[in-house]
Amino acid sequence: MSNNNQVIIKTENLTKRFKNVTAVDGLNLEIKTGHIFGLVGPDGAGKTTTMRMLAAIMDPSAGDAVIAGFNLRKQAEQIKEHIGYMAQQFALYGDLSVLENLNFFADVYGVRGKTRRERIEQLLNFARLTEFTERRAGRLSGGMKKKLGLACALIHSPDILYLDEPTTGVDPVSRREFWDILANLHVEGTTILVNTPYMDEAERCSRVGLMHNGRLIEQGTPNEIKALIPGELMEFKPVSDHLGGVGILRKADKILANQEGVLEVQTYGDLMHVFVDNIEQRRSQLETALAREQITMANFRRTAPRMEEAFISLISKMESKQVE
């Protein structure tokens, strides 16, 4: 059914202005059929506003979009039939059972009769909720609530699924399980747009877009995004006899940031991640510089940048550009 080269969501200069803020600023986005597209960015970046516009529940201030072949401004109702939307604060009916919630959403979307019965059975299976059909939604665990929310968003078999931070506040095991369910949907050909603050989730997307201050600053496959940061990455733990904790990190950061060949320094817990032009060439130079302050490098290793490093690097570059 799905043609993987077809663009199913295309926005043109999509913009949303509120009183004091341009929440989404001239967004040009292309999402292909069957992809999992991750919209990644810090709080306030404009992810939710983008999703609300694409769900046709908030009018853009400027720009337009075509979704599943329909025009956002002129054919909102048709678009709604083709999408499932799980908002970040989605509402289940706490007093209703799992099954009653599914029936409620089936009513809303006009899914009836045999189709409804089959669809509900399939979704219960798929979301691994079959044993809990009679339990009140209000008494489900956080992870199970999210899975029920997902099942409700899928009741009308949409081609496109929008998920706004679907696993925020969910424990790691449930997060993984939720993503396994998304992987199954992906295999079945559903196009998924997901907002996420989690970099490990961004890694699981076909493509990601990095959003910052309402703008899309980069988009590409996770590997393409990671390849954007220049240099090689070394990791170590700075150790000193007289300095500890944050003090040593600050000191080491200051020393390294001014060294030739150092492109960027990031800290992770008590580890330092240092991007240099060439590790072979710079390692002893940096060791010497730190040794002058009686700091040594423990647990040294060369490592590959993850989405997290790429993301922090790209965002901090954006922010320093804005300051200039």
Please choose which of ligand ADP, Mg ion, none residue 18 contacts, taking the beta carbon within 5 to 8 angstroms, the exact cut-off set by kind: ligand ADP
Give the residue with the Cβ less far from ligand ADP, 59 or 107: 59
The kind and range of the H/E element at 81 are helix 76-82
**Chain center to CA of 273:** 23
| Minimum CB distance to Mg ion, residue 293 (Å) | 42
User: Which of 12, 17, 21, 68 forms a contact with ligand ADP (CB under 6 A)?
Assistant: 21
Number of helical H runs and strand E runs in the chain: 11, 15
Per the structure block, which two tokens stand in for 250?
């600050």
* Contact between 253 and 293 (Cβ < 8 Å): no
| Minimum CB distance to ligand ADP, residue 315 (Å) | 13
User: Which of 32, 35, 47, 212 forms a contact with ligand ADP (CB under 6 A)?
Assistant: 47
Residues, the chain: 324
| Minimum CB distance to ligand ADP, residue 46 (Å) | 4
Between CA 257 and CA 261 the distance in angstroms is 9
**Chain center to CA of 243:** 37
How many chain residues touch ligand ADP (CB under 6 A)? 11
Give the residue with the Cβ less far from Mg ion, 20 or 89: 89
User: Which of 23, 31, 151, 297 forms a contact with ligand ADP (CB under 6 A)?
Assistant: 23
Sheet holding 262-268, edge to edge: 262-268, 271-276, 232-240, 295-303
| Minimum CB distance to ligand ADP, residue 44 (Å) | 4
Beta carbons within 8 Å of 181's beta carbon, 6+ residues apart: 126, 127, 128, 147, 150
Give the residue with the Cβ less far from Mg ion, 24 or 160: 24
| Minimum CB distance to ligand ADP, residue 210 (Å) | 11
31-90 residues in contact with Mg ion (CB under 5 A) are: 47-48
Per the structure block, which two tokens stand in for 76?
């909102």
Give the residue with the Cβ less far from ligand ADP, 168 or 285: 168
| Minimum CB distance to ligand ADP, residue 225 (Å) | 18
User: Does residue 212 bind ligand ADP (CB under 6 A)?
Assistant: no
- Half-sphere exposure (CA, 13 Å, Cβ side) for 258? 7
The kind and range of the H/E element at 239 are strand 232-240
Nearest to 142 by CA among 119, 165, 160: 165
What residue is closest to Mg ion based on CB? 48
User: Which of 1, 5, 43, 324 forms a contact with ligand ADP (CB under 6 A)?
Assistant: 43
Give the residue with the Cβ less far from Mg ion, 193 or 256: 193
69-98 residues in contact with ligand ADP (CB under 6 A) are: none
**Other Cβ atoms closer than 10 A to 67:** 26
Interaction site with Mg ion (CB under 5 A)? 47-48
Interaction site with ligand ADP (CB under 6 A)? 18, 21, 23, 41, 43-49
